[in-house]
Structure 1
Amino acid sequence: MVETSEIATGTTVPLPTVNISSSELINPAHPYFISTSDSPGTLLVNTVFDGKSFGGWKRGMWIALTAKNKSGFIDGSTVEPEVGIDLHRAWSRSNNMVISWLLNSLSREISESVLYYSTAKDIWAELEDMFGQSSGPHLFQLQKELSDLVQGSSDIAAYYTRIKRLWDELDT
């Protein structure tokens, strides 16, 4: 029996089928699985990337996407099926969810610069190209921040956190 859906005109149209077992799609370990708690508006990292501290933002996004079993969409290990194959719709839905999560974690200006890429992998690669390269001026800025850093009126935890972040960023 073919499932159908009624559209606004009152006519019924057949619903597309996916040639994958239903147990596979509801398996949380499958990369195409989308939980009921997942939504395109979800923020996966608590700081929007504004062009500074790319290494920290990248690490946070990688951890979040790995926890959701979606890191394959940015590293290329979850390969896009051929268009026209039923499974392509499930891949596309998951890819678009990852794109939404990426765009929501970027500042408006950066988001607009990658908005029209069609895959999460392409967006990730573009962000890597734009911000992932170490530059002499950036390294100098980090070293200067470290040398100018004083505890001042900050408590020891705040001071340590700030210096540790600079060390980690310099290390990456």
Structure 2
Amino acid sequence: MVGVEGGKSGDGKKTGGKGFEQIAPSSPLYLHASESPSLTLTQTIFNGENYELWPDAVRNGLDAKNKLGFVEGFVKKPTVTEGEEKSLEAVTWHQCNAMMKAWLRNVIEPRLHLRISFSGTVTEIWKELKERYSAANAPRVHQLKQ
């Protein structure tokens, strides 16, 4: 298992050592006990007009927490077959995704929350923000401001 600590079983698979598995602190799936949904990644709050500055500040905050791979799409959602018990990676991926959605909300002005879908993955939300607000989409930004 990627990013899981524990002992090794006879077949080389990682186990939890004493009956449980842990996410390795070096894994992007790792959430430290001090991380909470109220965390603010940056002092730069997105107000609908400062998109050119905001993503760099957020990316820096996520990179410092080893979570940048989520918004860039490198940390993929684990697939779970129907009827199969969710793996540790699947459970922690969902926890990380939910945590990062809260972190994004914290650095976006509340008046913009309704314009931004927070129901998908962090990767989808990040792409949606870029499509709506980047300078490459200036006509859309002008339309939203009106």
Q: Which stretches in structure 2 are left out of the alignment for 5+ residues? A: 1-12, 142-146
1:104-135 deviation line (CA, Å, top 9, x unaligned): 11111322222443200011000000111333
Distance 1:21 1:103, change over 3 A: farther
From 68, 71, 93, give the equivalent of 1:74: 71
Aligned length: 119
Counterparts of 1:1-172 in structure 2, within 5 Å, are 21-22=15-16, 25-83=22-80, 84=84, 85-86=86-87, 87-134=89-136, 135=138
- TM score, norm. by length of structure 1: 0.62
**Greater gyration radius:** 1
Q: Which stretches in structure 1 are left out of the alignment for 5+ residues? A: 1-18, 139-172
Equivalent residues of 1:25, 1:32 under 8 A apart: no
Relative to structure 2, which stretch is displaced further, 99-108 or 112-121? Answer: 112-121
- TM score, norm. by length of structure 2: 0.72
SS in structure 1 of the partner of residue 77 of structure 2:
coil
Counterpart of 1:57 in structure 2: which amino acid?
Answer: W
Relative to its length, the structure with more helix (as a share) is 1
In 1: Cα distance, 2:42 partner to 2:15 partner: 33
Relative to structure 2, which stretch is displaced further, 79-88 or 48-57? Answer: 79-88
Equivalent residues of 2:48, 2:133 under 8 A apart: yes
In 1: Cα distance, 2:120 partner to 2:14 partner: 24
Distance 1:113 1:63, change over 3 A: same
In 1: Cα distance, 2:131 partner to 2:119 partner: 14
SS in structure 2 of the partner of residue 59 of structure 1:
helix
